[in-house]
Amino acid sequence: MTGAEPFLPAIRRSFDEARATLAAFLDAPDGLASVARFAQEAAATLERGGKLLACGNGGSMCDAMHFAEEWTGRFRGDRAALPALAFSDPSQLTCIANDFGYDQVFARSLEALGREGDLLVALSTSGNSPNVLLAVAAARRRGIKSIGLLGKGGGKLRDLVDVPIVVPHAETSDRIQEVHIKVLHIVIEAVERRLFPGNYGCTEPGSSPNSNASRGRGT
């Protein structure tokens, strides 16, 4: 027996659990439909010249940052940069937390940077993160739609966001976040296929190659 073999049963259980979580999401009545609505809202936001905003805590903040950089940089191929921003600047967050309290860090950032026609992507594995709840409330006041990437039944955010995407089955943040990042990547690909069909070698139904976003004016 090598030194690695004792780890194998736990590793296999983790992969099996991850597979079961993804299967439960795919089998959920509103799983794929909610992801399609997310893609539709993101595409419409970019086409009208709006921007994508994202927020979350801990690993969910990392996912929010990952989401934003895929738009401003590149995903599958070269294209115009697209406007996306994660609320993750440490100087801003610590300033707001110091002056107004940690619960306000995302709401205050949204008030400063969000405009009607933008889209907020709110990530919370519990669905109950106070600072994310306040960000969604601030978005609603400004006429900004919101997408919730959630877990554990969706929590309070489920009924507050415009499009809730709830990961079923999983009880731990790691398994929930593994589905969240899949959703984010899949939505980015779906939107790219609509706005930049040439990057995928075909013209997708409903694509708009002459839209503001595809000409780079949405940035």
Domains annotated on the chain, with CATH: 12-200 (3.40.50.10490)
**What is the number of other CB atoms lying within 10 angstroms of the CB of residue 7?**
10
For residue 132, give every residue at least 6 positions away whose Cβ sits within 8 Å of its Cβ, in sequence order, or none: 55, 56, 57, 106, 122, 123, 124, 157
In this predicted structure, the answer to whether residue 94 has a pLDDT above a threshold of 60 is yes
Read off the pLDDT of each residue in 172-200 and give the average, rounded to a whole number. 97
Give the span between the Cα atoms of 52 and 208, in whole angstroms: 19
Check residue 209 and give its pLDDT. 42
In this predicted structure, the answer to whether residue 217 has a pLDDT above a threshold of 50 is no
Give the span between the Cα atoms of 20 and 75, in whole angstroms: 27
Spacing of C-alpha 160 from chain mean position: 16
Check residue 215 and give its pLDDT. 39
119-175: per-residue pLDDT in tens?
Answer: 999 999 999 999 999 999 999 999 999 999 999 999 999 999 999 999 999 999 999
Tokens of 67: 């989401």
**With the C-alpha atoms ordered 74, 193, 167, 41, is the resulting torsion angle positive or negative?**
positive
Give the span between the Cα atoms of 195 and 99, in whole angstroms: 41
**Mean pLDDT, rounded, of the chain:** 92
Percentage of residues in the chain with pLDDT exceeding 70? Answer: 91
Cα atoms in the Cβ-side hemisphere of radius 13 Å centred on 8: 6
Give the span between the Cα atoms of 67 and 171, in whole angstroms: 23
Read off the pLDDT of each residue in 59-68 and give the average, rounded to a whole number. 98
Q: What is the DSSP letter of 24?
A: H
Check residue 146 and give its pLDDT. 98
In this predicted structure, the answer to whether residue 32 has a pLDDT above a threshold of 60 is yes
Collapse the DSSP code of 164 into the 3-class scheme (helix H, G, I; strand E, B; otherwise coil) and give the result: strand
1 vs 132, higher pLDDT: 132
Q: Is the pTM of this model over 0.85?
A: yes
| Range of weakest confidence among 5-9, 176-180, 198-202 | 198-202
b/e string for 163-179 if b means 16 or more Cβ within 10 A? bbbbbbbbeebebbbbb
Read off the pLDDT of each residue in 173-198 and give the average, rounded to a whole number. 97
